[in-house]
Structure 1
Amino acid sequence: MPKARKRKAPITGIASTSDTSSSKSESSRAVIRRFHVLLKQQTQLQKSIIQDISKKTELADVEREIRELGGLESYQRMSVIGQGTDRGGGSEKVLIRWLKDKELHKTKKKLRLLEVGALKPDNYAGCSSWIEAKPMDLNSRHPSIAEQDFLLLDQEQNSEKWDVISLSLVLNFVPEALDRGRMLRLAHTFLLEGGHLFVALPLPCLSNSRYLNFDRFTDIMQFLGFTEVQRYWRQGGKMVYHLFQKKINTGPPLEQKLITVPENLTKKTILRQGNRNNFSIIL
């Protein structure tokens, strides 16, 4: 009887033993969820400490737990491990397919793409003949990824500069709802007319939020001057993907429009009752 062949272990790159154990999907998702909670608390405490010095101890406790979790490096490692499509990894494949569907790979000039929250430097390397990508992240893991806060980008230098902006698993990592709205507004400012914005979010941000649903998100994007081109999600899935296009000749400048934002887009309004998450976007 022939000897049973020993099953080969999967190649996991440079992952250590601890990385391997933490790569289990539930473990990595738990770290990411906890990080979101802590960073939101950190932002709120940093603002309130100006009026209430007693919050200093509470802030120190939150920052200690962030360090104990490994800081942003730990969050990024969990995100890199989660490269399955269901967990948001490989979202560039969705964007590339949609851009090809619009035949934008046939344009004479390369598309200038700003990839916000990039964890790897070469997501678009296979499209280098028609995409000129600039990856950036708050905490760069690679010399080719610019270390930069999107919210602090120079508005004058980036105004109508980009053909495509990718916000994949970025909005949900911004602690404040108002900053999420500001990020979308800046994306509109930075895109050329007719340019495209790609947004990938955990599905519960829209399907199970107390304050945000698909219709409200669409209202926000339309007010900002975007038209929805593509949307993909599936029942039981973990992600939702959107492709928006910046409208051409949208009338009054966006800054002028924002003076009279509809009231329902400027505050949190309960849209669903029951056991829900608190994700929201406001202008």
Structure 2
Amino acid sequence: MATKKKKTKLKSISSGRPPTVKPVRSISSKATRALIRTHHTLEKDRAKALAKGDDAKAEAIAKQIELNGGLEAYQKASLTGQGNDRGGDSSRILMEWLKPIVPTLKKQAGDGESLRLLEVGALSLTNACSKSRLFEVERIDLNSQAQGIKQQDFMERPLPRDQDECFDIISLSLVVNFVPDAVGRGAMLLRTIQFLRSRKYSEGLEDFLPCLFLVLPASCVTNSRYMDEGRLEAIMEALGFVRVQKKLSNKLVYYLWKMGTPTVKRNFGFKKQEIRAGQDRNNFAIVLK
């Protein structure tokens, strides 16, 4: 009887459910966070090994990442974390912040002039931005999970040839922290400038656009040795951004940064330097060269 029960359990776990049935949550929020943290740590260690030329160590870490389920497992954990029972869809915050200009956006959408939104690290086709039908949304991700998401690395995406290929809004929700090294994070933020439209917007829209929606784990700015609120703001201002909105929750920090008028000279002298001491700090940093 014991053997029969074990077989029944294994069969029920491995067999899928019809897509019309909502699956029972099979991973706790604690396990989800642990999987995400482990993946980030391994990716950082792999990047360090590659930087030092230790190919053997990098290969060993890559195998460990694959044993843990690889990028797909990380994405599934992230998607689970976007459920309403885990804090929900981060783009709802963006839509809340854009409420003052929604009437104008609706009119433009009705006239066939929808704003263009680039969602980097997209996991879903049904988030708040997509459901609003106010934007022409382009979704990209390193490992596409759906037909409407293009498999592409933002850092390798061809630069826009003209303003028609640029975007009014770029969303980097829990993307920058996924980049394994500080220099790469700075390079990603710098690259967004080349994808944002540089045109005059109508009254009202000009207070928000063009803009960057940035979401990070709260600990990146509240508990890092190398990053705090002031340093992040200084980095963004050096890039030409002005903060329009901010929201801090227990787990995440949300920002809306408007792209200002580009300056001729920018100070990119942001190195990795300690801001806070303490053993319990994390090592999140952004370097601008």
TM-score (norm 1): 0.82
Matching of residues 24-43 of structure 1 within 5 Å: 24-43=28-47
Tell me which moved more, 149-158 or 212-221. Answer: 149-158
Sort the Cα spacing of 1:158 and 1:176 in 2 relative to 1 into closer, same or farther, 3 A: farther
Aligned to 1:141, the other structure's residue is in SS state coil
Q: Does 1:232 align with 2:244?
A: no
Letter in 1 for 2:251: K
Q: Does 1:191 align with 2:196?
A: yes
Q: What is the CA distance between 1:171 and its match in structure 2?
A: 0.5
Contact persistence 1:212–1:280 (CA under 8 A): yes
- Which of 215, 237, 240 is residue 200 of structure 1 equivalent to? 215
Sort the Cα spacing of 1:106 and 1:175 in 2 relative to 1 into closer, same or farther, 3 A: same
Highest RCO, 1 vs 2 (Cα 8 Å, sep ≥ 6): 1
Q: What is the CA distance between 1:222 and its match in structure 2?
A: 0.4
Q: What is the CA distance between 1:86 and its match in structure 2?
A: 8.6
Sort the Cα spacing of 1:139 and 1:58 in 2 relative to 1 into closer, same or farther, 3 A: same
Identity rate, percent:
40
- Specify the alignment match of 1:63 in structure 2: 62
The number of equivalent residue pairs is 253
Point out where structure 2 has 5 or more consecutive residues left out of the alignment. 1-16, 199-208
- Specify the alignment match of 1:211 in structure 2: 226
Matching of residues 71-220 of structure 1 within 5 Å: 71-84=70-83, 89-103=88-102, 105-106=105-106, 108=108, 109-123=113-127, 124-128=129-133, 130-157=134-161, 161-193=166-198, 194-220=209-235
- Specify the alignment match of 2:12 in structure 1: none
- Specify the alignment match of 2:254 in structure 1: 241
Per-residue CA shift, 1:153-191, capped at 9, x if unaligned?
A: 112437671000000000010001111111111112211
Letter in 1 for 2:257: F
Q: Distance in 1 between matches of 2:50 and 2:18?
A: 38
- Specify the alignment match of 2:51 in structure 1: 47
Letter in 2 for 1:96: M
Q: Distance in 2 between matches of 1:111 and 1:57?
A: 47
Letter in 2 for 1:216: R
Contact persistence 2:141–2:152 (CA under 8 A): yes
Tell me which moved more, 186-195 or 149-158. Answer: 149-158
Aligned to 1:278, the other structure's residue is in SS state coil
TM-score (norm 2): 0.81
Sort the Cα spacing of 1:59 and 1:200 in 2 relative to 1 into closer, same or farther, 3 A: same
Contact persistence 1:87–1:239 (CA under 8 A): no
Per-residue CA shift, 1:122-164, capped at 9, x if unaligned?
A: 3233221x21111110000111100010111112437671000
- Which of 255, 272, 286 is residue 281 of structure 1 equivalent to? 286
Sort the Cα spacing of 1:269 and 1:278 in 2 relative to 1 into closer, same or farther, 3 A: same
Q: Distance in 2 between matches of 1:277 and 1:86?
A: 27
Per-residue CA shift, 1:40-60, capped at 9, x if unaligned?
A: 1112222322xxxxx333223
- For the aligned residue pairs, the C-alpha RMSD in angstroms reads 2.4
Q: What is the CA distance between 1:94 and its match in structure 2?
A: 0.6
- Specify the alignment match of 1:221 in structure 2: 236
- Specify the alignment match of 2:205 in structure 1: none
Contact persistence 1:114–1:135 (CA under 8 A): yes
Letter in 1 for 2:236: M
Contact persistence 2:80–2:86 (CA under 8 A): no
